[in-house]
Amino acid sequence: MSERRLEFTVPPDSAGTRLDRCLSRLIPDSSRAFLQKLIRAERVCCDGVPCDLPRRPVTGGMRIEVAIPEDDADGSIPAAEPFAFDILYEDDWMLVIDKPAGVVVHPAAGNPAGTVVNALLGRYPHWEELFAGVGARPGIVHRLDKDTSGCLVVAKTPDAQYKLSTLFAERKTAKTYLAIVRGVPARPSGELTGLIGRHPVNRQKMALVERGGKTAVTRYRVRGEGEFSGCKVALLEVEILTGRTHQIRVHMASIGTPVLGDGVYGGTRGIETPPPRQMLHAWHLMLPHPADGRMLSFESPVPADMAAAIAAAGMVLPSAGGVSGRNGA
């Protein structure tokens, strides 16, 4: 059986991290469950010695080798395409782009091209060699839904990818969104918590579940109220303390105020003419720089379609000057 072999050196500041957690950041294209399976099958070597214990702590400078059966992973790099995104920030370590709605972050089933990753490979042709072995997600450290616009951070080296992935995994970033929701929350502000996992019936959706999900924490604050296409709506500032799939969409739907335009979670019901996409925008992002730890802050301008919906509802576009955000943890 053919296999894909990867080699990594553990950064000093990751000493003490569990082997499976370390690998999930080094190989973001693979799930932790899959990596645990490889470890238990002794397909992972630490300093030349096979290891079958996912919870084994790694040490700084440790050499890790991973053998991935080709049947279980696609190691191919996506095709390069033209880059046409607005850049909010760039240095030797990282890039922050303004992702428009309608664009998928990385190739997957049904979306082999036209993604952010395809464009990145067009801008940085050397990435094909630099990120060889990471699969279809070179540089990707977090994601936004296809129809969510706004700030997206991209790593420019494998080392930066590991460090940035660690910052997001350890919740050392602050992510604030703007959302227009159908209806008005009963409380002007609040914190929503619960376990989010796959919907028990519709596997294309996420849902609040009693067991088997991952903890999700969302805070919201109402910034305005109005009426859009015959329905009451509200403009919210939303902060997520975790980064679960569809987190804001699930949490807002759970209190009866789904994101406007979100047909999956009820955001188009009762709307005479719904907007063409979910009104959700990754507005503001704070994170420590992966090289020196200085706190960086980025803002993505509210896109024209969402600004038009805010105006049509008689609400005022907020200023990011008063945005909430956690400094670090």
Active site residue 71: no
Partner residues linked to 228 by β-bridges:
231
Strand pairing of 49-51 and 63-69?
Answer: unpaired
| 120 and 80 Cβ atoms separated by less than 8 Å | no
| 183 and 265 Cβ atoms separated by less than 8 Å | no
Of the residues 20, 145, 147, 262, which is catalytic? 145
Q: What is the 3-state secondary structure (H, E, C) of the chain?
A: CCEEEEEEECCHHHCCCEHHHHHHHHCCCCCHHHHHHHHHCCCEEECCEEECCCCCECCCCCEEEEEEEHHHCCCCCCCCCCCCCEEEEECCCEEEEEECCCCCCCCECCECCCCHHHHHHHHCCCHHHHCCCCCCCCCECCCCCCCCEEEEEEECCHHHHHHHHHHHHCCCCEEEEEEEEECCCCCCEEEEEEEEEECCCCCCCEEEECCCCEEEEEEEEEEEEEEECCEEEEEEEEEECCCCCCHHHHHHHHCCCCECCCCCCCCCCCCCCCCCCCCEEEEEEEEECCCCCCEEEEECCCCHHHHHHHHHCCCCCCCHHHCCCCCCC
Q: Write out the catalytic residue numbers.
A: 145
